[in-house]
Amino acid sequence: MTDKGLLLIISGFSGTGKGTVVNKLLTDFDDSYAVSVSATTRDPREGERDGVDYFFKTTEEFELMIENNELIEHACYVKNYYGTPRKFVEDKLDEGKNVILEIEIQGALDVKKLYPDCVLIFLLPPDVPELERRLKGRGSESDSVVKERLYRAVVEVEFAYKYDYLVINDDLDKCCKEIDTIVSAEKLNTKRNTVFIDNIEKELKGTFA
């Protein structure tokens, strides 16, 4: 069966816990997942490290990456550029790793056009009061920022229909197991295994030669 990795895109509202889910997938299913580190022009937040959380770039550096075709996709989000470096993703897929992109919706839909085999997962909170609680619980967000994020969620939820799967992040363990189950099922999908079927067919025909 296919030994190529799967390209997995995870999007969701601010406050759904995407980062926590991705970190848990990396630790619980250690060798099978790799996460892409994006390039961005936004300033690092406290504790963020260059090359670990993001590749922090100037606008000129970022635009040069676009020009040199080094990014699979890029988008402008809250006045900053964000983009996915191509080489890491393609190398890891060839190595058989499932590569996770934790990116916003426009970028996700662009990647789907370029890599139709990728799988889009939309992460949802269990309900709206819990989303509000999580946004407020971050402590660093003012009421107006929380409102702004909820308003953005109203716009973003429309796009959930364009995703392949919805996963609810209520219980973290369950959520990660569900994502891993989706990945396992997708890898058994017939369309990803046509070479395997062709080989069996050839072998079978060979028995009559």
Contacting residues toward ligand 5GP, per CB under 6 A = 38, 42, 73, 75, 77, 82-84, 102-104, 107
74 or 97: CB nearest ligand 5GP: 74
5 or 83: CB nearest ligand 5GP: 83
Nearest Cα residue to 12 out of 171, 117, 126, 112: 126
- Specify the length of the chain in residues: 209
Least distance (Å) between residue 56 CB and ligand 5GP: 11
Nearest position to ligand 5GP, beta carbon: 107
Looking at residue 159, what DSSP letter applies? G
Least distance (Å) between residue 103 CB and ligand 5GP: 4
- Count of beta carbons in the 10 Å neighbourhood of residue 138: 12
The span from the CA of 186 to the CA of 188, in Å, is 5
Least distance (Å) between residue 143 CB and ligand 5GP: 19
104 or 186: CB nearest ligand 5GP: 104
The span from the CA of 31 to the CA of 22, in Å, is 13
Contact present, 89 and 116 (Cβ < 8 Å): no
102 or 186: CB nearest ligand 5GP: 102
